[in-house]
Amino acid sequence: MIGNRVSPDRVIRTVLPAELADVVALHGRARATYYPGGVPQDGTDWHAAWRSAITRPDGRVLCVVEAGRMTGLASFRTAEGARADEVTLFQFHVDPGHWRRGVGTALHAACLEEWRADARRTAVLDVHVDNLRAQAFYRRQGWVPEPAGPGEHHLRMRLALPGA
C-alpha cells in the first residue's frame, strides 16, 4: 500500500519510523476532542506505544498525507489470542482540522483493502463511549456495536468483511 494515491493531493501509505513525532502529535490532537475534561494522564508513553506499532512485523500503521502533512492514521494487527482471520483496529484518527473532508472514509477504505488482501473475515475495534462522532462514523461504514456493560469506558464494535 506504500504510495497509494487516492487523489492528486492525497496519498495513503505506510508510516515511516522517522515520522513518529508527527504520529504522536496527530494522535494527541484527535484524542483531545473526545475527553470533555481533558485527556487523562494515565502514564501511557505514547512515543513508545506508537514506535512499537510502527515497527511491529505483525502489524501495520497507515497514514494519509495531504500537501506534505499527515492528516490521518490507522494502526491494526491480529490481537493476542484472536483468530487469524480477525483483525483489530487499535487506533484510527483524523486530524480535527481535516474532519468532514473524506480523510477518514479514504483511510477506512484503504484498511478494508489491506484486510481483504490478508484474508480477514472480521474486524473489531474499541471506541471510547464519549466519542460519539467516531461511533457515528463507524456505523456509517457498517460497524455494529456489541452490548456494553454498565460503567464501561469503551464500546466494542465489529465489522463483517464482505468479499473476504
At residue 110 the predicted structure's pLDDT band, cuts being 50, 70 and 90, is: very high
> From the centroid of its chain, how far is CA 83?
20
Give CA angle at 20 (16, 21), nearest 5°.
140
Element (H, E) at 69: strand 69-77
Range of the domain at 13: 4-160
List pLDDT tens digits, range 58-79.
999 999 999 999 999 999 999 9
The tens digit of pLDDT for each residue in 125-135 reads: 999 888 899 99
Tens of pLDDT along 14-53? 999 999 999 999 999 998 887 767 677 778 899 999 999 9
**Number of compact structural domains in the chain:** 1
Cell numbers linked to 89: 483496529
The total number of residues written for the chain in this structure: 164
CATH number of the domain at 134, please.
Answer: 3.40.630.30
pLDDT band at 56 (very low <50, low <70, confident <90, very high): very high
User: Which distant-in-sequence residues (6+ apart) come within 8 Å of 6 by Cβ?
Assistant: 12, 64, 106, 110
> How many Cα atoms sit within 13 Å of 81 on the Cβ side?
0
Q: Rounded to 10 degrees, what is the CA torsion of 81, 87, 90, 96?
A: -170
According to the model, what pLDDT value does residue 152 have? 80
